[in-house]
Amino acid sequence: MAEQPLAAIILAAGQGTRMKSDLHKVLHPIAGLPMLHHLLESLNAAGAARQVFVVGARREQVEASVAPRGVDIAHQAEQLGTAHAALQAKAALTGFDGIAIVCFGDTPFLKPETISRLKERLLAKDAPRVAVLGFVPEDTKAYGRIIADASGNIAKMVEFKDASEAERAVKLCNSGVTAVRTADLWPLLERVGNDNATGEYYLPDIVMLALADGDRAVVVETDADELIGINSRAELAEAEAIWQARRRAQAMAEGATLIAPDTVWFAYDTVIGRDVVIQPNVVFGPGVTLADNVVIRAFCEIVGATVADGCIVGPFTRLLPGTEMQQGSRVGNFVEVKNAVLGAGAKANHLTYLGDATVGANANIGAGTITCNYDGYFKYQTVIGDNAFIGSNSALIAPVKIGRDAIVAAGSAVSRDVADGELRMVRAEQLVKPGRADRFHDAMRKKKREGNWHASIVAEGA
C-alpha cells in the first residue's frame, strides 16, 4: 500500500487539577523540557506532517509554548470526553487525507518507533479500520480494558467503570493512543454516544462502532513504561527518575564514567563525549556540550555551556549560559562563569567570578578575582590577553582590557586598560604605626577590668 501522510491529534484539554499548579499540566518539565515537547520530538521523528493540539483551560500557555513549532490549535470549551476532544481537531485537518494518531500530551515517553508500528499495522494487508496501542502494566488500576485474541484482533473495548468483573480481570489495557484513517475518523467520532457511567464521549467507542460495521480493529502492544501518564507531582517525579536512569545508562554505554550515577542529573539535550568523567552531585541544565576527555568534579551546576576537549571543571563550580571553555582550560572550586570565553589552557582555579569576559590562552586568574561587569543598567566586557596574570583579590572594572603578558598585582582595582607586558598595581598606601596595636589592647583590657561594659563590648568587637 502506498505511503500515507501522518497527522497527530494531541489531547491536552484536561484541567490537571491534581498538579495543583498555575502552569498547564503538559508544560511541566522533564529533564528541563516541557513534557509536551518530549512527545512532539517523537511525533516529528515519526514523520507527523501535521500536529493539532486540543486545549481547554490555560490554552494560552500551551499556544505560547508550541507556537514556534508551527502546530495547529483546537479548542475544547467543555470537557465532554476524549472522543469529543478529538473531534475538535476536524476543522484544523480539513483537506488532510492520511492517517491520524490520537495521543495525549501527558504521555511524554511515547517512542517514534511505536508510532510508526501503529501506523504500519493500520496499513497492513488485512486493512483494519482502527489500530489501538495496548500495554500490560504491573498495576492495571482503572485503565480501560482490551479484549482481544492472540493475533491482536479486538473483540471488545470497555472502560473500567463500565467493565464487568471478568473484564476487569483482563491484563491488557488501553493506552488511548489510536490510529485511524482520517476518512474513517470523523464519521466514527460523530457517531459516538455518551450512554455510559460518566456520560462522556469515549474515544475507544470508535472501535466498537467499527466492529459493529463489520470491520476489524487490532491492538499493538508496547512496554508499559512508554505509556506513563503524568497527573500529579509524584508521577512527574517518577517520570523524571525514569528519564534520568535511561540517560545515565546511555551516557555510560557511550563511553562516559559516572562515579555515582544516581547523583548526576542530565538535561534533555546534554551532549557528552567519550572518556568524560563526571563525579558525584553534578546537575546539567539545557544547552550543555562536553567534548572528549573532560573531567567534571563534584558539586557542579552547568547550564548553557560548551566545554572543549581536556577541560577540568570544579569542584563546586557554576558554568552559566554563554560559557565557552576552550581546550585544556580549567575552572575550580567556587568559580562562577557566565557569558565568558576561557581560552585554551586558561585557569581560574579558586573563588572567582568571570562574567561578560574573554580570557586569553594560558592566562591565569588568581583567587578572588571579580569582573565587575554590571552597573545596574548595562553589562560591559572585560578582555584579558594571552598569558596575562591576574593576581588574587583583584577587581577588573569593565569595560576594561588587560593586555597580552600583562600582570595585575594582587589586590588591585583596575578601571583603565592595561597595555601588553605592563604591570599594574592599584593599591592604597599602607599606614604603619608601630606599637599602636599593643597600646590599644592594653587600654581595652584595663577598661574591661574596671567594669566599663560599653568599652568591653567595643573591645570584643574590635
* Mean predicted confidence (pLDDT) in 444-451: 85
The pLDDT of residue 140 is 87
* Mean predicted confidence (pLDDT) in 105-122: 95
206 grid coordinates = 470508535
Please report, for residues 156, 359, 428, 429, the alpha-carbon distance to residue 407 in angstroms, rounded to integers and kept in the order given. Answer: 81, 14, 18, 20
350 tagged catalytic: yes
Cα angle: 26, vertex 28, 31; to 5 degrees: 120
Q: What are phi and psi of 25, to 5 degrees?
A: -55, -45
- Give Cβ neighbours of residue 55 (< 8 Å, ≥ 6 apart): 12, 13, 62, 63, 73, 74, 75, 76
Q: Which residues pair with 330 in a beta bridge?
A: 312, 347
The pLDDT of residue 1 is 46
Task: Count CA atoms within 13 Å of residue 291 on its CB side.
Answer: 13
- Give Cβ neighbours of residue 318 (< 8 Å, ≥ 6 apart): 300, 301, 302, 335, 336, 337
Cβ 219 vs Cβ 146: under 8 Å: yes
365 by DSSP, 3-state: which? strand
The yes-or-no verdict on residue 42 having pLDDT over 90 is yes
* Range of weakest confidence among 6-10, 152-156, 358-362, 443-447: 443-447
Task: Count CA atoms within 13 Å of residue 141 on its CB side.
Answer: 11
Tens-place pLDDT, residues 252-294: 999 999 999 999 999 999 999 999 999 999 999 999 999 999 9
* Mean predicted confidence (pLDDT) in 66-84: 88
Catalytic residue (choose from 24, 28, 38, 350): 350
* Mean predicted confidence (pLDDT) in 34-54: 95
pLDDT band with cut points at 50, 70 and 90 for residue 162: confident
- CA–CA separation, 318 vs 299, rounded Å? 9
The yes-or-no verdict on residue 157 having pLDDT over 70 is yes
- CA–CA separation, 4 vs 364, rounded Å? 61
The pLDDT of residue 59 is 84
- CA–CA separation, 95 vs 368, rounded Å? 65
Tens-place pLDDT, residues 368-426: 999 999 999 999 999 999 999 999 999 999 999 999 999 999 999 999 999 999 999 99
pLDDT band with cut points at 50, 70 and 90 for residue 460: low
Which is nearest to 46 in space by CA: 14, 72, 75, 10? 10
* Mean predicted confidence (pLDDT) in 129-158: 92
27 by DSSP, 3-state: which? helix
pLDDT band with cut points at 50, 70 and 90 for residue 196: confident
The pLDDT of residue 462 is 45
**pLDDT over 90 for what percent of the chain?**
83
213: Cα separation from own chain's centroid: 46
The pLDDT of residue 74 is 92
The yes-or-no verdict on residue 346 having pLDDT over 80 is yes
The pLDDT of residue 2 is 55
Cβ 132 vs Cβ 114: under 8 Å: no
**pLDDT over 70 for what percent of the chain?**
97
Tens-place pLDDT, residues 371-385: 999 999 999 999 999
- Average model confidence (pLDDT) across the chain: 93
